[in-house]
Amino acid sequence: MTETSRTSHATTLRPLNADELSTIVGEADAEQRTLALRGGRTHERFQNLGDPTDLELDLTGLDGIVDYSPVDLTLAVEAGVRLATVDQLLAEQGQRIALDVPHRGSATFGGTFACGLSGPRRLRYGALKDMVIGAEVINREGFTTKSGGMVVKNVSGYELARLHYGAHGAFGIVSRLNLKVLPTVESRAEVAATYTTAEAAAEAGAAVLVSTLDPAAVYIVRSAPGQWVLRAQIEGSLQFARVQLQAVGQSLGAPENVEYVGIGGYSTPDFDRVVELREADTLVARVSVPASRQAEALAALDALESATLLADMGSGLVYVRSKDIGPAVASLKALGWPTAYLALPGESADDVDVFGPMDEAGLAVLRRLKDQFDPQRMFNPGRFVAFL
């Protein structure tokens, strides 16, 4: 039965299955109550502050593995299942899900899908949306809508699950995800080469990307002033990894030094540290920059001396981590590329749309979607793009 707890701010309900969740949402709709949605709470800072809500819905009680077929490489999970639970289940069958998500003991599949973020291995494996073959979503009236299924090619027409990817629950509550999974790899390793300029590192990274080499991830980190480390990760059989590592190393062109390192588990060195959101006084921003302009963006941000800078060359995203909030925000504004704040401390967070400005045409579509799917603004009110 649904668990209920109360704090001085709000009542929290924790439904234990999709039927209980549907009932709660249906009743909230009838009573015109608003709901704040919570998964593992690892990314609560990555949303607008929003309006106070009548209820909090803790979705971690939807924690069932619905279906797992190792031979079909498919898995269906309820939205509150933690990534670590799936890691363990899949590892027993020599399988895995290739997502760079940290805090895997807390992070839920629903929250990860709703956030729509990605890590550097997106280059090789795609983002979570590319692994999802079906989804169930609870709409504002408490009804379950289904899209896709449990086979890999089963969508024609609109793929509705994608509407909810990165939507932060603005259009409905994800209750179940069906996923493609992968075999585990024998080996993960990395080439790290250090350059004195961002341009040189980006040029070497671009050469790796456009070659016949097959890296899982390629990204650049400014580790100290004048030190730009290009990391290229290789995954596969031991033999494949060895051959690839050597080939990548040879193609890097006059770096200061090249290191070959083995890496285990889900670690993506440096990236995990740059995008970590738990330090309350630290800004973390994500800038969308075409791969061909990343070196230029890094050079422009180089003046932020104490910031950590990272360019994910596979996805065209640049990340900035800084405790000097004012100068960092000013530099990002001057840069002019679309910027989202995964974490924005202090007063600046009150009136800034953390998702960044959006063009009018795109905004008009989002507003119509919100009006269609959640006209009473019941789900996470004010927390999504443009305070929808």
Ligand X SMILES: Cc1cc2nc3c(=O)[nH]c(=O)nc-3n(C[C@H](O)[C@H](O)[C@H](O)COP(=O)(O)OP(=O)(O)OC[C@H]3O[C@@H](n4cnc5c(N)ncnc54)[C@H](O)[C@@H]3O)c2cc1C
| Binding region for ligand X (CB under 6 A) | 37-44, 47, 59, 79, 99-102, 106-108, 110-112, 114-115, 117-119, 127-128, 168-169, 173-174, 271-272, 275-277, 380, 383
SS3 of residue 323 by DSSP: coil
Question: Considering beta carbons, is residue 195 or 379 the nearer one to ligand X?
Answer: 379
Cβ distance to ligand X smaller for residue 135 or 193: 135
**Euclidean distance between the first and the last CA atom of the chain, given in angstroms as a whole number:** 32
Q: Which is nearer to ligand X, 118 or 139 (CB)?
A: 118
CB of 270 to ligand X, least distance (A): 10
Instruction: Dihedral sign for Cα 232, 73, 127, 77, please.
Output: negative
Q: Please, what is the minimum distance in Å from the beta carbon of residue 55 to ligand X?
A: 13
CB distance 341 to 283 below 8 Å: yes
Tokens found for residue 57: 């819905």
For the bound state, the minimum distance from the C-beta of residue 92 to ligand X, rounded and expressed in Å, comes to 22
Minimum Å gap between C-beta 294 and ligand X is 19
Measured from the CB atom, the residue of 119 and 205 that comes closer to ligand X is 119
Q: Please report how close the Cβ of residue 71 comes to ligand X at its closest, in angstroms.
A: 26
- Return phi, psi of residue 351, to 5°: -115, 5
Which residues, in sequence order, are bridge partners of residue 173? 138
- Please, what is the minimum distance in Å from the beta carbon of residue 191 to ligand X? 21
In the sheet where 173-180 sits, what is the strand order?
A: 65-69, 74-78, 173-180, 132-138, 144-148
Judged by beta carbon, residue 300 or residue 321, the one nearer ligand X is 321
CB closest to ligand X, residue no: 111
Distance, CA of 107 to CA of 53 (rounded, Å): 23
Q: What is the edge-to-edge ordering of all strands in the sheet holding 35-38?
A: 3-6, 11-14, 55-58, 35-38
Q: Which is nearer to ligand X, 272 or 296 (CB)?
A: 272
Minimum distance from CB of 266 to ligand X (Å)? 9
- Please say whether the beta carbons of 177 and 110 come within 8 A: yes
Q: Encoding tokens for residue 197?
A: 């300029």
Query: Is the Cβ of residue 44 or residue 159 nearer to ligand X in the bound state?
Result: 44
Is the CB of residue 294 less than 8 Å from the CB of residue 318?
yes
Please state the closest distance from residue 18 (CB atom) to ligand X, in A.
11
Q: Measured from the CB atom, is 204 or 328 closer to ligand X?
A: 328
- What tokens appear for 233 in the block? 């990760």
In the block, tokens 């995203």 appear at 317
- Are the C-beta atoms of residues 295 and 309 closer than 8 Å to each other? no
